[in-house]
Structure 1
Amino acid sequence: MVYGGVAAVHAPASWSHRFSMFLMAQFIPFKEALKCMEGEYEVDGQCCPTCQPGFRVHETCSIMTGTMCVPCDPGTYTAHHSGLKECLQCKVCDPELGLVTRRKCSPTSNTVCGCSPGHFCVIMKDVCEMCMPHRVCTTGQYVSSRGTERSNTICEKCQTGTFSPNGTLGQCLPWTNCTTHGLFEEKPGTDTTDALCSSKSDTQRRRFGIPVIVVIILMTIILGMKLFGRKKNQQVNLSHHGKICDTPEDYGSVINLPVKETKAQEESPTLWQRMSKSQDNGEP
């Protein structure tokens, strides 16, 4: 029994040792799993104080010193408490993407971009990343909803009986009612043009237009015949002289030449006329 009692006494001691070893084995990973407190960050197995917004870590903390922080360089920022060794780069608003700067970057905040006028955002994350131009309505359409920085323009086609000449109107214009103005509709309207009114109907214009056209044609024919006849007579007259003239100088050389020669003959007396005249005067 003594052996049995000893055995009974030593058994609890053996289980106690095993349980203590189990607790020690579990205590170490549990200690490593602990997170640093708010306002601290973990580095090299220890918790160090974070740097405030607008600053970055220059040197980590040690047992004797705290974290050494320095301000962010121009063009960089940190918006929250952090253990970053480098500040974040500021965003650049690219005009080629339709972006403009709404708020410049600061040591504690990033650049805020927006869409330039006449553009709307097509890629949105935390902020707008890319913008596109608003849709442009064409003739025959009206602007149902104008574009904003968040939405595109909506265009609608004009209904029958209305028109839009440029696509910038908020609603299409109705066709002019020629009858109410005491006029005749010369040409009906379309979705891009208004109706064309006239003081005369189609029948009246036809009655007036046909005689005018006929008169013009007849006058053209008569004038052409006269010009052709005049030219023909000139060619016939000139052919009597053995030459058909092609230029005004030719006409002058053919027509005036006989006239000049006739006058010369009249002014220069013949030999018989001079002898007769001298006898009448008693000259030898």
Structure 2
Amino acid sequence: MESRGCLAIFCIITTQLILFKEVVLCMMGQYDVDGECCYPCHAGYRINGTCSIMTGTTCVPCDPGTYTVHQSGLKECLQCNFCDSEFGFMTRRECSSISNTVCGCSPGHYCNEMKDDDCKLCLPHRVCAPGQYVKSQGTEGSNTICEDCQKGMFSPNGSLGHCLLWTNCTAQGLFEEKPGTDTRDALCSTHSNLQLRLIVMLSTVVIILIFISFICVVFVRRKKNLQRGKQRHKEGDASHLGKICDPLEADRSVTNLSVQETRQQDVLLPLRERISESQDKPDS
């Protein structure tokens, strides 16, 4: 029994010593690779296969597009980053076997999230609105700063570095037709608003008077034509009545009727005689 107990204690102590040895060896600059303590590979290299006390560590260079920055026990190198231009990135430094790709922001963008010297998020520069001016132009590290135009000034599109003053119409001997705004200059005219209104009113009145005059002329002409038509109608009726009331004209009409009746009788009489003769003849 005592021998068995001693054997068990010996086994436990041996196992702990082996584990302690492995921990100590891995703590002395080695890396645990698949349960084995392996010496690391230099930057730009990776461990190829497995290592042991007999074979040691086998290192190979990183493949193109991969890298390692420090000594490591990695069996696979890290993948290089890609600077996507569709998201506003541009490549500041190409990837190598010992360093990752460094991305920056393309023109018109600024970096909103930086890690070391590598940008992680690019955003487009702010666009100033009409009525504003560009106080500070955007850079790769900062956004554009916009400011509103002050009273008496304007900016038509927001791309100017300073706002413009309204035109002084009075100083130019003109009248201000429309006042300026923060997006539009003052509008000057050779006539004042009152004069323009009077001109418009007078033009409107003249057009209305011309229209009324035209209507009146048409109405008067139509009325005269109606009166002339009625007068001609009356004259025609009077002429007809005069012919009927004239005795000589009446006699002429009666005479004409008698002549016509006589002619009709002259035409019809021979026809009647022929019909009666044909009736008197005996049937053959």
TM-score calculated relative to the size of structure 1: 0.63
Is 1:167 the counterpart of 2:154? The answer is: no
- Describe how 1:17-166 pairs up with structure 2 within 5 A: 32-33=23-24, 36-37=27-28, 40-41=30-31, 48-126=38-116, 127-166=118-157
Give the letter aligned to residue 83 of structure 2: C
Query: Which is further off, 76-85 or 230-239?
Result: 230-239
SS at match of 2:209: helix
Structure 1 vs Structure 2 CA RMSD: 3.5
TM-score calculated relative to the size of structure 2: 0.63
Report the Cα offset of residue 60 of structure 1: 4.5
Mapped partners of 1:192, 1:118: distance in 2: 24
Unaligned 5+ segments in structure 1 are 1-26, 241-284
Query: Which is further off, 74-83 or 29-38?
Result: 29-38
Give the letter aligned to residue 217 of structure 1: I
Mapped partners of 1:140, 1:90: distance in 2: 45
Give the letter aligned to residue 67 of structure 2: Y
Query: Which is further off, 84-93 or 43-52?
Result: 43-52
Report the Cα offset of residue 239 of structure 1: 11
Larger radius of gyration: 2
Mapped partners of 1:239, 1:135: distance in 2: 85
Report the Cα offset of residue 234 of structure 1: 7.8
Mapped partners of 2:59, 2:207: distance in 1: 100
Mapped partners of 2:57, 2:226: distance in 1: 120
Is 1:222 the counterpart of 2:230? The answer is: no
Higher helix proportion (structure 1 or 2): 2
**CA deviation vs aligned residue, 1:161-203 (integer Å, no higher than 9, x gap):** 0001001111110111112212221211111111111122233
**Residues 54/34 of structure 1: CA separation in 2 closer, same or farther (3 Å cut):** closer
**Residues 61/213 of structure 1: CA separation in 2 closer, same or farther (3 Å cut):** same
SS at match of 1:114: strand
Mapped partners of 2:213, 2:102: distance in 1: 83
Mapped partners of 2:175, 2:42: distance in 1: 82
